[in-house]
Amino acid sequence: MTSRPLALVTGASRGIGAATARALAPTHDLLLDGRDAVALETLAGELPGASAWPVDLTDDGSVVAAVTALGIERLDVLVHSAGVGLLGTVAETSPETWRRQFDVNVVAVASLTRILLPALRAARGDVVLVNSGAGYTARPGWGSYAASKFALRAFGDALRAEEPDLRVTSVHPGRVDTEMQQAVVAHEGGEYDGSTYLRPGSVAAAIVGAVQATPEALVQEIVLRPR
């Protein structure tokens, strides 16, 4: 019996990452990353072939130790969904906020990808970067978040060019009904109506579509908006 392909999903404790794990579970064994170990264990318990892999991705030493402990030689899919959305005008945004935003949204992504490159190369794997509409456009009050997502798009472009055996997909959703979006709307001072936003499962379905593309095809970018 052949074993199923292996996918590692970051930010799997909730939101888009959890939905992506659910969507990949019928076809993939799963490693579920996040910091909330209880949420990860609960989700892993619902999905056959899934294991919690609780790691703070901004803690370099823990990431190296956790990847080493996995001892995997092949990784078929790496979905980077972990992220923070810290809003504020340029006038309001402290150096700490700039650093935190880049640390989670860019540096942690680059670092985890780098450590897993041998396993990804061995599988000719997929790297999916959950970016944002803010990866193309910086609106007022979104400067440091958009800058981090522009940087994430540049990272993806460089990785795709450098590692032609990998498929690197950049996913750019509009507003999605998650805890992050609730915090965004609270910051903006608007009424939250999740029914007007994308569902996390809709972003997950687009990610699965990219991962399941025929082998010679690369879904390079996905832009997804609520209708």
Nearest in space to 28 (alpha carbons), one of 207, 186, 152, 222:
207
Among 32, 78, 81, 151, binds ligand NAP (CB under 6 A): 81
Q: Which amino acid is at 127?
A: V
Mapping DSSP to helix (H, G, I), strand (E, B) and coil, where does residue 221 land? strand
C-alpha to C-alpha distance for 87 and 36, rounded to whole angstroms: 23
Query: Which CB atom, from 62 or from 220, has the smaller least distance to ligand NAP?
Result: 62
Among 64, 70, 72, 84, binds ligand NAP (CB under 6 A): 84
Q: Which amino acid is at 134?
A: A
Query: Which CB atom, from 28 or from 197, has the smaller least distance to ligand NAP?
Result: 197
Smallest gap, in angstroms, from Cβ of residue 95 to ligand NAP?
18
Smallest gap, in angstroms, from Cβ of residue 55 to ligand NAP?
6
C-alpha to C-alpha distance for 117 and 121, rounded to whole angstroms: 6
Q: What is the H or E stretch that residue 129 is in? A: strand 126-130
Among 23, 30, 47, 57, binds ligand NAP (CB under 6 A): 57
Q: Say what the alpha-carbon torsion angle 202, 206, 212, 217 is, to the nearest 10 degrees.
A: 170
Q: How crowded is the C-beta side of 35, counted as CA atoms within 13 Å?
A: 9
- 104 part of the interface to ligand NAP, by CB under 6 A: yes
The residues assigned a catalytic role are 145
Smallest gap, in angstroms, from Cβ of residue 162 to ligand NAP?
22
Q: Which amino acid is at 147?
A: A
The 10-39 contact track toward ligand NAP, x by CB under 6 A, reads xx-xxxxx---------------xxxx---
∠ CA 55-49-116, nearest 5°, is 45
Query: Which CB atom, from 113 or from 181, has the smaller least distance to ligand NAP?
Result: 181
Q: By CB under 6 A, name the binding residues for ligand NAP.
A: 10-11, 13-17, 33-36, 56-58, 81-85, 104, 130, 132, 173, 175-176, 178-181
